[in-house]
Chain A
Amino acid sequence: MKARNVALVMKKDLRGLGRERTIVLAILLQLFVALFSSFLMVGLTSMYDPSSLARFSGVKYPVAYVGEPSDLDELLKKSGQFRVYPMDLSTAVAALGERKLSAVIHVPPTQKDADDPVKITLYSIQNDIQSTIVNVKLKDVFLDYEEELRRVRSERLDLIPVPLEFPESRSGPGFYEFIYGLLIPLLLFMPAVISAALIIDLITEEYQHHTLETLLSTPMTMAEVVWGKITACILIVPLQAGSWLLLLTLNRIPIAHIPQILAQVLSFSLVLVLIGALTALYYRERTAAQFIFSTAVVVLMLIVLAFPHNPLNLIALLATGSPVPKQWSILGGTLILCGLLGILTQLYSEKVSTRAPGE
């Protein structure tokens, strides 16, 4: 196998990619995914913690308190989030329907230490985003009240939990786990999938456009052509993954261990690309090859993810800057797999016919 021939095929395919400029779509896609999902998360958090929205801070939601007086009344007032009106039930519910109140709370005459539970009836507006926020705020008050009732009834408990004392929670944005534990591993997995889809396209295209015969009439061998294409597909992986990491860093999301992460990404990209190449060489027809390959990837992914210390888990850990003692053995394992698949690809491509099936 001549390196020069491999390089020639590689250059030809990279030029083709550059000319079509559709690779831009792949990068746009990653941008879109990140944008959409992080927007969603920011949104969910800000809905949960409405004080982060300037517009809602300082707003006191009017609620009606109906029924027996209790400590709940006091808790509601103390939370500073609500303006509490004592009212009668029917008037209050009618006012709620006209959105003059944001919730109505009915408290029964059940004693604090009664055998029965205290059943509070909460009336709220159906299908409304703001009443969702109000309910989440009310939930905090109810949880406090539940705590107090539990304290009163604590002697009746027979299983005592291990007590833990938590520090005052500093409310931070809750994106950490989302960004490092989900977004980064998945985004870095994308280039691998894209490259694997690409190798199938590149190989089946030569068959289905009947350009393979022309290519092989030069002093090139089939194995050289295949390896050239594999090289082209692998070369664009660090390009995509690297630009991602750079974008995230610019976005003030620090990423540790970038070289190690790239090594992991490259190794499992190579596995996927080699599997893709083998599938394409076997079917020599795009529809079949892509279908079989993508189903196989889903199966493979599910199985790999079901084990701890899988490459995506490693990427998450590396990105957070944790020490990962197992990374080199995992990398070694992936590389051995690559070697085996590589030998298989070499042997198979020497043997495979130049004809598309059915011709």
Chain B
Amino acid sequence: MNFLQFLSRIGTLARWEVKRAFGVMGKGMLPMAVVLFVLLVAATGFAAERGLHLQDGIYRLGVDDRVVGEIFSGDERFSITTGDGRDLFRERAAYDIIIIGGQVYVQDTERGRSALKSLQRDYQQYLDSLYSLQQDLFAAYPLWIDLQEVKSELDFSATQSGMQISVAPSSTAPPVPERPVVEIPVPEPGVAFSTEELRQGLIESSVPQSQLARYSDLVGPESPFGSFKTPSQLSPPLPFDSIILVFLFIFPLYFMSQFSMMSIMQERLERKGEVLLSTPAGAPAIIVGKALPYFIGMLAISAGIALWLSAPLIILLPLLPVILFFLANALIIGMVARSFKELSFISIFFSTVATSYLFFPSIFANVHVISLVSPLTLIVLSLQGETYTISQYFFSTSLFFLTSAVLFYVGMANFREERLFSQAGIFCRVREFISTSLSSRHPWASLFIVNALVVPFVFMVQMLLLVLFFNLPMPLSLVLLIISAALVEEIAKSVGICTFLLDTPSRWSWVMVGIGSAVTAAAFLFAEKLLLLITLTQVTESVFGSILFLSSGVLVFPFLLHFTGVLCVAGLVRHWGAKGYIPGIMIATLVHCLYNGYFILGWLS
């Protein structure tokens, strides 16, 4: 089959898929969808207008002065009672906060403290709104900060690799720079904006903060004057608007991938796909052909949204790997699920995990480079009008590209009758999928390849863990990261060899188990190093990176570590069968943790 023939088959299948999809939609769905879309836009506007009333009346506030009550009446979280000061004091148990004669009294409970925090923030907002209307603006805002950012000459991760921002050991003398000093012009004392410009900006930025910002003090309101801020604007801004916009891009992708998932599932209903399999098209053409319309559709929708927002079309670049990743997962989920309910559960699970991976890092887009783990951060940056480098693009997208490619390959290898129409349980099916991808004639080669291909997934999970634990206090985050990273690696390494052992236990002698473990360890190490070299140098420099990808020059120790881990699991599985798997993983994880702990602790001290 030549390439042109292959392309024309893909074209035919894609056209057929489009026809089928519209056939499903035609039956009264399209008009309904249009109606719902209009309703959705209207409802969004309505909700944005009225605000979301989720926490109304969660705190009870008693005031003895109506004027004070009015300050807080805009915040629905407070249910406000105005009454006589003495009555309020007598019934103080019924309130979280009472304000008598300008003095604030708070219940010493968790709710009271939380209410006080909100009250203080509201009061600050009230002050700000009043100050920005003053005749003499600079009496109300006497202090302005011009924040100049200096590029560090050490790489950003220096602080995490155990170094404090500066270790000034008990010195009373100021630090002396080692490199030549560049002359810096002394800043002008004047303000570069007119008073009215400043007033306008202050009024704009004092609108009630987004609901997300309620939960964190770290992110604050954004200054409309770039680097020029009042002291309360000094916290890094939350890219709230950009995140909402990013959600606008991702939301349609979910639906499209649902359609694609369902289209794969349809083929498996009552063996409808048998017809397709009996044509000379072949699995790769079928899969590409079925995915192509959705791929184009997703790109077109994204481009449409970008044009509508008048954003640069370059933001489609970071979306590309996300689209591929969604389609690859849709393929696998559609092939694995046994029933509609299972499809629903797995796809809800997948989309929540994927959303967390994609969205949470981008909240930190203005805070830390770790946020680049998610390609969405690149979109946030583009929307903010900042640029990113090619290496940053590779850093945040390569894992998505690699895992999508592997998933597509697994899908193609398994796209045949006995897999598609089997009704085995999900874990069993995943094992079947892997075992199809393994060749029993070339066990060593396939073990090597499987373990090399599993590495991008391990990295992805570990990146998720890194983002998750990065925010925790230091010792706890290290311990959790050591344990979970070890667990993930051991499970990943055991996949290939245990599939062999459970499929054909008789063929695997103890010597073969030993060789298999060695091959697995070597493959894992090889792929790990290769991937690190290409992409992850940024994170691996940090102390977190060193746990995930502990390497430190010598290759012998990591090899032995991987080897021992696999051998523990494989040995127990060989001896006890499937029952030995969980104890094996536990032992291997323990060994892994001890090794990592020893090296990290030794290295830190």
* A23 pairs with B345, CB closer than 8 A: yes
Query: Contacts of A285 on B, CB cut-off 8 Å?
Result: 24, 27
Stretch of B45-53, B81-89, B431-439, B452-460 with 4 or more beta carbons under 8 angstroms from chain A:
B45-53
- Chain A interface residue count, CB cutoff 8 Å, equals 149
Q: Considering the chains assembled together, what is the distance between the CA atoms of A159 and B252 in angstroms? A: 49
**CB of B273 to closest CB in A, whole Å:** 14
Q: Considering the chains assembled together, what is the distance between the CA atoms of A201 and B143 in angstroms? A: 61
Q: A126-B152, A142-B143, A299-B40 are in contact. Are A306 and B53 (CB under 8 A)?
A: yes
Query: Contacts of B186 on A, CB cut-off 8 Å?
Result: 89, 106
Query: Contacts of A117 on B, CB cut-off 8 Å?
Result: 138, 141-144, 191
Question: Is the C-beta of B159 less than 8 angstroms from some C-beta in chain A?
Answer: yes
Question: Is the C-beta of A298 less than 8 angstroms from some C-beta in chain B?
Answer: yes
Q: A129-B368, A201-B340 are in contact. Are A100 and B168 (CB under 8 A)?
A: yes
* A16 pairs with B156, CB closer than 8 A: no
Q: Considering the chains assembled together, what is the distance between the CA atoms of A210 and B111 in angstroms? A: 55
Question: Is the C-beta of A278 less than 8 angstroms from some C-beta in chain B?
Answer: no
Query: Contacts of B196 on A, CB cut-off 8 Å?
Result: none
* A98 pairs with B148, CB closer than 8 A: no
Quick one: closest A residue to B269, CB to CB? A208
* B191 pairs with A116, CB closer than 8 A: yes
Query: Contacts of A298 on B, CB cut-off 8 Å?
Result: 40, 43
Question: Is the C-beta of B430 less than 8 angstroms from some C-beta in chain A?
Answer: no
Q: Considering the chains assembled together, what is the distance between the CA atoms of A89 and B433 in angstroms? A: 64
Q: A119-B190, A145-B143, A150-B142 are in contact. Are A306 and B134 (CB under 8 A)?
A: no
Stretch of B56-64, B202-210, B511-519, B557-565 with 4 or more beta carbons under 8 angstroms from chain A:
B56-64
Q: Considering the chains assembled together, what is the distance between the CA atoms of A242 and B186 in angstroms? A: 64
Question: Is the C-beta of B174 less than 8 angstroms from some C-beta in chain A?
Answer: yes
* B262 pairs with A169, CB closer than 8 A: no
* B236 pairs with A99, CB closer than 8 A: no
Question: Is the C-beta of B139 less than 8 angstroms from some C-beta in chain A?
Answer: yes
* B174 pairs with A86, CB closer than 8 A: yes
* A303 pairs with B58, CB closer than 8 A: no
Question: Is the C-beta of A17 less than 8 angstroms from some C-beta in chain B?
Answer: yes
Question: Is the C-beta of B184 less than 8 angstroms from some C-beta in chain A?
Answer: yes
Q: A36-B356, A125-B149 are in contact. Are A307 and B471 (CB under 8 A)?
A: no
24 contacts between A and B (CB under 8 A): A20-B338, A20-B339, A29-B349, A41-B216, A53-B474, A91-B176, A99-B159, A129-B160, A130-B164, A132-B236, A136-B218, A159-B134, A166-B120, A167-B104, A169-B116, A169-B120, A172-B110, A176-B113, A194-B345, A200-B340, A202-B340, A286-B262, A290-B344, A291-B255
Chain B interface residues (CB < 8 Å from chain A): 23-25, 27-29, 32-33, 36-37, 39-40, 43-44, 46-47, 49-58, 60, 67-68, 71, 76-77, 99, 102-106, 108, 110-111, 113-114, 116-120, 123, 126-127, 130, 133-136, 138-154, 156, 158-160, 163-166, 168, 173-184, 186-187, 189-191, 214-218, 230-232, 234-236, 255, 258-259, 262-263, 269-270, 338-346, 348-349, 352-353, 356, 360, 363, 367-369, 425-426, 468-475
The 3 A-B residue pairs with the shortest CB-CB distance, nearest first, are A43-B471, A108-B189, A149-B142
